[in-house]
Amino acid sequence: MTQALHLTNARLVCPAGGERDGELLIVDGTIVSGEAPSHAERVDCRGKLLAPGIIDVGVARIDRAAARAGGVVRVAPMPDQVPVLDEPGAVQRLALIGRPDLWIHPIAAATRGLAGADLAEMAICLSAGARAVGTGRGWIADSGVMHRVLMYARDLDVVVVTHAEDGGLAAGAVATEGETATRLGLPSAPALAEPLAIARDLMLAEETGARLHLRCVTTAAGFALVRAAKARGVRVTCGVTPAYLLLSDNAMSDFRTFAHLSPPLRSEDDRKAALAALADGTIDLLCSGHDPRGPEEKRLPFADASAGAADAATLLPLALGLARDGRVTLPRLFALLATGPAALLGLETGTLAAGMPGDVILIDESAPWQIDADRLPGKAGNTPFDGLPVQGRVVAMWKGGRAIAG
């Protein structure tokens, strides 16, 4: 007998189909149209939002509890894991450990050991389950190496995910050059480090015809470069995390190490530019940048603390806040959270259309709660949004039509 799940009385939100009240039928793990069979399990959604499951690109760690709380059904971890994802055995092991609840689509290392010198075995890593290749937390400084990476990736038709920040300028910096860094006496680098790196990578991508994804763009100059490159037909996409849309470097004012991020928080003008890029479509996807760090790494002087934020569990409510503020529509929001990441990784998923996998989340968009770093599910709660009141919780989640327990 077939397995069937009939979700009724829902407010469907689909990047392809828009918003509507209705129902959804999942049979043997796939969304289908037509009448529900008599044996189908029926769930009354009571008017809550039913949307595609979130696909989180560029996480630093696999964190099942945080992913479940945040409505994340698939993750694409960066290559700087332990061990580095530069050989097929490591890629294959990581790709298989999350199933069936959390599907993992590794980003393989573009160079051996992420050292930025010798090319890694990209083709073999792709055959082992990788869905992209990347530079990890660093930038490939050698333009000749980056050129070879992009040419090889073009021939494989795989996207290169890069951290665009000129290491020569940014080395040793923990903040963006400006009033806040000066007042706090923190080692800083000019925001120019980002657009310099982006400009180089865009020129190489344009010359080679390769696909390039800038994992997290955070500056006005960076967005301007991406916008212009897209207009020229360069095959480039970019992402951002909510931190750079909602916070400026003022969030570091009390030496709050939860606000020590990579790239560092930018100026208020750059934050406004990020919101404008979200509105005009320059930004292609939203991601959490999930990087859980315990107190032994965060309860240190700001310059000594590790960079990173654990925001997989907060991505959805922060994103819903952008929709409530009129920055994006709900269908556009889930294009940023699901369809865009799926397209980047070459996955047939991310919408509620018939034929798509039954990866869906049920959301109470009005449920109020307060982000509490000490109580966030997952490996750690180092979020710069600690104490912020938000709205929106995942109340149920299905992967391939199968309920995932909380």
pLDDT of residue 293: 96
- Does 316 have pLDDT greater than 70? yes
- Does 202 have pLDDT greater than 80? yes
pLDDT in tens, 74-88: 999 999 999 999 999
Find out whether 120 and 112 touch, Cβ atoms under 8 Å. Answer: yes
Upper half-sphere CA count for residue 304 (Cβ side, 13 Å) = 6
pLDDT of residue 167: 93
- Find the mean pLDDT for residues 314-331: 97
DSSP structural state of residue 94: H
- 319: tokens are 């994103």
Q: How far apart are CA 265 and CA 348, in angstroms?
A: 34
pLDDT of residue 291: 97
- Does 254 have pLDDT greater than 90? no
- Does 14 have pLDDT greater than 90? yes
Between strands 4-14 and 212-214, the pairing is unpaired
pLDDT of residue 103: 96
- Find the mean pLDDT for residues 303-328: 97
Q: How far apart are CA 295 and CA 300, in angstroms?
A: 8
- Does 213 have pLDDT greater than 80? yes
Model confidence at 100, pLDDT cuts 50, 70, 90, reads confident
Bridge partners (DSSP) listed for residue 111: 119
Q: How far apart are CA 379 and CA 162, in angstroms?
A: 25
The counts of H helices and E strands in the chain are 14, 19
Q: How far apart are CA 292 and CA 60, in angstroms?
A: 8
- Does 226 have pLDDT greater than 70? yes
Mean per-residue pLDDT over the chain, rounded: 96
Q: Give alpha helix (H) positions in 109-251.
A: 122-127, 143-156, 167-170, 179-184, 193-208, 220-232, 242-246
Model confidence at 406, pLDDT cuts 50, 70, 90, reads low
- Does 310 have pLDDT greater than 90? yes
Find out whether 192 and 176 touch, Cβ atoms under 8 Å. Answer: no
pLDDT in tens, 120-144: 999 999 999 999 999 999 999 999 9
Encoded amino acid at 8, one letter: T
pLDDT of residue 280: 97
Q: How far apart are CA 382 and CA 261, in angstroms?
A: 10
Burial class (CB in 10 A: 0-12, 13-18, 19+), 121: middle
3-state secondary structure of 176: strand
| Closest to 278 (Cα-Cα) out of 339, 234, 352, 333 | 333
Q: How far apart are CA 398 and CA 402, in angstroms?
A: 5
* Phi, psi (deg, nearest 5) at residue 23: -140, 165
- Does 2 have pLDDT greater than 90? no
- Find the mean pLDDT for residues 102-107: 97
Residue 146 to residues 58, 81, 87, 193, 264: CA-CA distances in angstroms? 19, 21, 19, 17, 24
pLDDT of residue 159: 98
* Tally of CB atoms within 10 A around 336: 23
Please count the residues of the chain. 406
The share of the chain scoring above pLDDT 70, in percent, equals 100
